Chains A and B, each alone.
Chain A
Amino acid sequence: MKYTLSVLVENRPGVLTRIAGLFARRGYNIDSLSVGRTEDDRFSRMTIVVDGDSDIVEQVAKQLNKLIDVIKVTDITSVPHVERELVFIQVSSDSGNRGEIMDLLNIFRGRVIDMSKNNMIVESTGDSAKIDAMISSLRPYGIKEVMRTGKIGLLRGTKEDDRRKG
């Protein structure tokens, strides 16, 4: 099963290495990892999707917590949260099927962000299942490249932030 961990860390050089290194040496699988600064420049928030059973994920969370630069680890998998992923897809298209592809994009709330004679780049955000569905719908037209950001997630409400400030 896939678990989503929201990890608040110090915004310092080397933090990503420490976290990636921990996953590598303990043999945990990172499905995706995305990271960016929070509202406070001193901290970054990572969303890490881990593949494994609940025991492994519990160990992952505990080991992450042991890193001095990690402030808080929250398993948000089964608590109310919002999550999104951004995707760019470069797909083959010509004047013959462009309209068809645009119709398809409407269904997935995707947008065209670049177009040339033989292909276009489209973007979309959504949960991972929606992105997967969009990619498989576009596949018959000929996908040239896909770039996904990995999931970012945030707990609903402000519990985590309150605790940090407290």
Chain B
Amino acid sequence: MKMTGAEALLKILEGYGIKHIFGYPGGAVLPLYDAILKNDNIEHILVRNEQAGAHAAAAYGKHLGRAGVCIGTSGPGATNLVTGIANAYMDSIPLIAITGQVDASFIGRDAFQEADITGITMPVVKHNYLVKNPKKLIDTIYEAWHIANTGRKGPVLIDIPRNVFEAIVDFEPKVEEVSLQSYKPTVKGNKSQIKKAIKMINSSTKPLLLVGGGVLFSQADDEVKQIVDEFKIPVATTLMGIGSYDETKELALGMIGMHGKPYANYAVHHCDLLISVGTRFGDRATGSLSKFAKEAKVIHIDIDPAEIGKNVVVDLPIVGDAKGILKELIEGLEQVDRAEWIEKVSELKARNKMKLHKTNLNPQLIISKLGELTRGKAYVSTDVGQHQMFAAQYYGFSEYNSFYTSGGLGTMGFGVPAAEGVALASDRKRPVFCITGDGSFQMNMAEMATMGEHNLPVKIVLMNNSSLCLVKQLQHFQCERRYSEVGFTGNPDFKALAESYPNMVTYRIEKEEDIEPVILEAMSHNKPTLIECVISDENLVYPIVPAKKGLDEMIGVEKW
């Protein structure tokens, strides 16, 4: 079938089940937007900054388990995407970024809106392409999709010159699987390694399962559940692993790390076997490496061989897809009496309850209430800051794949567009709560226009303390309370601002009694919503694992 390159691109995406793409038009992508106009199967979401489009597409992809798609024009459109792409790369989120490029004949001549986006993004993509030859366009798109969605997932950028979008190509839907000689991810775990792992687990009296984002990408939540529930192995998660096991259950310890739950951190320190699945042992999760899980042997299951031994010395690596490997592990597991360890773990939990601090209109309380009223089952996105850690600590996630946050890169501005992406990926059927702060919110608050335009059920819970309190907290501890550039005096009236956007419903919470009625009312309708919570700037996130300390050396908790 003869059609333009742009039309072929959309056809291929349609074939992969893409219903929404996020983007921003411009000169180099004119032919693509012309094709979008004629396409009835893909809805284009016009964001207000390409960065928001990349974040939205990433969250969309994370929700569906396959890549979302974002578009930017050449030059600044493409460079605006970079933060979103880097964010997806750090969190291994599948993403297809399409950028327009100047005509192939102009490349290298500093043409208007020309930027070497493949060069710029090289360190932050799983792979990228500059398609100069229209004949290679179709194969490239199939390849890009394959690379983004298999193995350790990640962003793939395709830079397409205007003349390639316009060129007439011969399109036939591809039926056979893409196969690349130089890219063959290991999916199946090594049998003898799995056997050894089974032996180690069966002879362990104090095992701990540590799950990361890889479990969600592998959709191995049922296997995790079975290991925890049937074989009584307690489970902790990394920040990215939240949403892989019901946190409200008895053997769930929640997040480990710098601001992890104290009992989760203690459990890592005291276990004799750490079974890590789909985690990359990031420094915020492990604290000092030399003190990490000192008393434990470590089994590391990951699809990326480069993660094995990168940060933590591993006793037994298994490379492959988590779901299949856990399935095989389960077949060999035996019932072992671990009553003593389970008792210890419950005692840890009982002794180190997450407390609510006594500040005025405490954000911890707001998030706990939100968790209670939504029974831990809402989709939640966050930005980056104190509110992010409070959300991870206090919400009580009990729904699979319900937490959307920026982990590795720590990107302020992620939350609002991410909520849009999740709202669209879940067919606008359920509200998506975006917990944010006034710092992060202002980085992408123009997105209120997008959510208003599309009437998306995004509920922004804005923790407004007119300051950048997570940085302030760092200055509190590391700079002897010299607070440098962390206060905002020029914030707008967020409620009034939000009201000026179409379809937005707004609320303000100023005292504790307001929390419940406002949240309930916000849940009673499907409109985009802003709930401004006027909170104190004196909150601190506890516990804290100070720099160079082990996970058991937290401050802000009683010693176990």
Contacts and interface: CB of A to CB of B under 8 A. Distances in A.
Q: Do A and B bind each other?
A: yes
Nearest to A61: B306
A62 B186 CA distance: 13
B524 interface: no
A70 interface: yes
Interface stretch (B17-25, B119-127, B214-222, B370-378): B119-127
Nearest to A22: B123
A69 B147 CA distance: 12
Contact of A65 (B119, B180, B305, B310): B305
B436 to A, nearest CB: 31
Contacts of A58: 309
Interface string A15-26: 001100100010
A68 B182 contact: yes
Contacts of A65: 305-306
B123 A68 contact: no
B88 to A, nearest CB: 16
B119 A17 contact: yes
A66 B151 CA distance: 10
B306 A63 contact: yes
A68 B181 contact: no
A66 B127 CA distance: 10
Contacts of A10: 182
A55 interface: yes
Contacts, number: 34
B136 to A, nearest CB: 11
B304 interface: yes
Nearest to B119: A17
B526 interface: no
A115 B130 CA distance: 47
A29 B306 CA distance: 18
B304 A21 contact: no
Nearest to A66: B306
A1 to B, nearest CB: 18
A137 interface: no
Interface of A: 9-10, 14, 17-18, 21, 25, 55, 58-59, 62-63, 65-71
Interface of B: 118-119, 122-123, 126-127, 130, 147, 180-183, 304-306, 308-310
The 9 A-B pairs with the shortest beta carbon distances in the complex, nearest first, are A62-B306, A68-B127, A71-B182, A68-B183, A25-B123, A21-B122, A63-B306, A62-B305, A66-B306
